[in-house]
Structure 1
Amino acid sequence: MTSFLRQLAQARRDGRPVGITSVCSAHPLVMRAAARNAARYSDVLLIEATCNQVNQFGGYTGMLPADFVQLVRRIAAEENLPTDKIILGGDHLGPNPWRSEPAASAMAKAEDMVMAYVDAGFRKIHLDASMGCAGEPAALDDATTAERALRLAKVAEQAARNTGGEMPVYIIGTEVPPPGGAHHVITELEPTSVAAAQQTINVHRDLFRQAGMEDAFSRVIGLVVQPGVEFGNANVVIYDPSKARGLTQLLDREQGLIYEAHSTDYQGRTALRHLVEDGFPILKVGPELTFVLRESLYGLDLIASDLIGDYPPRALFAAMEKLMLEKPGFWQGHYHGSAQEQRVQRQYSYSDRIRYYWNQPQAETAVQQLIDALQGRTVPPTLFRQYLPAFESWSGKPLDPASLLVAAVQRSLDDYRAACTSD
C-alpha cells in the first residue's frame, strides 16, 4: 500500500491534491476510531509508532514493534478493515531515545530499532538522525545527519530484503520544536527556509548516490519541514499559506517529493486543507486525538458523578491527578508556573502529556470502573447537554461508553479526512 504514498506528489502536480492522515497514537481506542473510519470509507489507514513509544526495549508503551503491529492488525480485523489497507509507519527513527549516550552506542541501538521495525512490517520509515548525542551539539549539521540517515537506510533495506514484501519508503529531515508540541506559549513561527530545505535534500541525495543507494533514495517520498504550525500548552499557531509559499514552490523543482506536516493537531479543517493543497499531504496527528479522548472521558466522569449515587465524585480525574503526581517524569519540565497552573496543565494542556499515563494499571482500572458504572445506563439529555453536548442524541437509550469514546475521536478524524479528499 505504500504505492498510495508514492502517488501524492503526482496528484498535486496533476492539480488534484489529496492527502492522508497519519495517526500517531498507541492508544487502543484511538486506533479503533482510525480503523473504524478507514473501514467505513474504504480508505487507506496510515498509523505510526514513534521511537520513544515503541522500540526494541519496549518504549514507554511496553510494546516491541511486532507487538504494535499485532495490536493494529487485531483491531483492524475487528473493524473489518483488510490488512492490505494498512500502512505502518515508524516516526523519528534514530538515536533520539538514547541521545544521552555516545553517538556510537546510540546509533547502534538506532540501527537495531530500525531493523526491528522493518522486520515487523513497517514500511514507511522516517530517518531522523538530526539530534546530537553525548558531547555533540543539540542539532547536527546536514552532512552528519545525512550520513547517519544513510546508515539507518542501509539497515532498513537489508531487513526488507530479508523479510520480503514491499521495499520501504522514506521520509527525511525533522522539525523544530520536537514532536509533542512546544513547551511554552508561542505566537508565531517562521517556516523552514527554502535554502535549508533544498540543502537537506541535496546533501541526502548526494550521499545516497555516492553510496550506491540511488534505488533507496528514489523511495524518499518526503521531507519534514516546519510549515509554521505548532501548539503549545495553551495555544495553537494556525497555518498561514502565505508564509510557506517558498516551500510550496520548491516542490515544483523537486517534483518527486512532498512535505510531511508534523504537529497539525488542533489546526481545524480549513487550515488542514490548505496544507494539503500546498504540498503537505501527510498530516500527522496524535495529541489532538488523545486530548479529545480525555475530554470525553472526563465528560463521562462528570455524568457518572451526577447520575450515580455511589460513584465517587470525579473519580477518574482524581485517579489521574494522583498518578501523575506519583510519577511526574512525563510532565515535569514541560509544565511551568504555580502549583495550580501546573495542575491545570497536567489535566488540560494541548500538549496532552496525560496521554503517557493511560496505559498505567491505575489509569486502566479507573477508566474501566467508569465504563462499568455507565454501561447500559440511560443518561438524560440534560446531562449530555451539560457535559457532552455533541452527544445529546445518545440519550434515551442504553449507553455504551466505549462506543461514545471511539465516536468522539472519529469526529476529529472526520476533519482530517475532509481535508485530505479532493471532493
Structure 2
Amino acid sequence: MDTIASLFSFITTPVSWIIVQFHKVYGALFGDDSGWAWGLSIVSLVVLIRICLIPLFVKQIKSTRNMQVLQPKMKAIQERYKNDKQRQSEEMMKLYKETGTNPLSSCLPILAQSPFFFALYHVLSSIASGKKIGAINQDLLDSAREAHIFGAPLAAKFMDSADKVASLNADLLDVRIVTAIMIIMMSASQFFTQRQLMTKNVDLTVKTPYMQQQKMLMYIFPVIFAVMGINFPVGVLVYWLTTNVWTMGQQMYVINQNPTPGSKAQDAYLQRLLKSVTSHGEVRGRTRRKMVKGIVAKGSDRNDIERKFITSLAKLGLAAQEDGTVQKSETAVADAEGQAHKRQQPKRQTKAKRQTTGHATAGAKDAESSAADSKTSLEKQDAPQDSKPKPAGKPASGSSRQAKSGQRKGPQRPKHPSKK
C-alpha cells in the first residue's frame, strides 16, 4: 500500500496543505490538539473534493443510464458476432460512438478520487511514523499524534499491536471498538447505496446481464471494504465513511429528482407530480417541467409508467404540452374515457370457477325439468278419463314406442331379407 501511495506523492503536499488550513479554523473552536479539529478537517476535505467532482458525478449518471439502455443492443451484437471477436469489438465501438456513451464514465468519480485517498493515507501513515510530510511541520505532527476520536488516535489501525497503540497514548480495546464500528458503518453505507440504486432506480422492464452484475457488486463491495478497513488508519476510515455517506445522500437526491425511466423511482416521482398538478392546476418547477417535456417528446416510445401519467392527466381534463406545461383540454377527457371503455373487458374466470358455474347451471336446469314433469303428471291425473273403450285390435298409440324406446318414430323400414 505504501508503494501505491508513493505513486500519488505529487498530490500529498496539496492535500496536507488543505487539511492544515481547515485545522486552523476548527482548532480555533475546539483546540489545536482536539480530535474534533483534525477529524472535521478530514470531513471538510471530503466535502470539498466531492463538490469538485459533481460534474463527473453527473457524467457518471448519464453514462450508467445509457449503458442500461444499450444492454439489449449490446447483447444482440454479442450473439450475432459471437464467433468474430474483432467484428464484435468494432460494432460495440460504433454503438458507443453513435449514442455518445463512454463505458469508463461510470468509473470517473472513483478514479478522480483515488489520488486524494492514497495521498491522505500516506499523510496519516507518516503521522503515525512520526515523519514530517508536505505542509505538516513538527508542531502540527505532534498535535496530530495527540488527537483522538472517541479515544482512538487518527493514525491507529484495527490490526495495530498493543505496543504501537500505547506509543500513541491510547488503549488497544478503545481503538478496536472505534475502528470496528466505523468499518461496519462504512460497509453498511456502501451496501445501502448500491441497494438503493438496484431497487429504486433501475428500469425493471429490461432484464440484462448488467443488472446481475450490479446485484453481485451490491454484496461484494461491502465485503471488500470490510476486509480493507481493518488496515486503514482511523483518519482514513473517517474519510471513507464521509465519502460513502455523501454518495448515499447525493444518490438519494438524484433518485428523487431525476429518476431512471421505467423504474420504481419514476413511478413515485410522477405520482407526486400528479398530486401537485391536481392541487395547483399547473406544473411547478423547472425540473418538473423538464420531466414532462421529455415525456411528451417521447410520443409512442413512452413506457407504461409515462403512459399512465398522461392518461391520468387526461382524466383531469389536462393535456401535457411540448414546453412541459399542462393545459385544459376536453378532447383529452374524451380520449381517456374511450381508452378506459376499450380496456373494460370481462375478466376470464379460472377453471374452478367455470366448473362451479357449470354445475350450478346444470342443477338449475334439472330442477326446472323436474318441476315441469311434476306439473305434467298432475295435469294427467286431474284430466277426465275417456269412457269409450278403445278397439281391441288396435294397440294404444305410442305403446309400441314405449315398449321399444330405441326404435325410430314413424313407420319403420322393413328389415333386409338376410336379417332375421
TM-score of the superposed pair, with normalisation by structure 1: 0.23
* Structure showing the higher strand proportion among its residues: 1
Q: Between Structure 1 and Structure 2, which shows a larger proportion of helix residues?
A: 2
Structure of greater relative contact order (alpha carbons < 8 Å, 6+ residues apart): 1
Q: Work out which of the two has the higher radius of gyration on C-alpha atoms and give 1 or 2.
A: 2
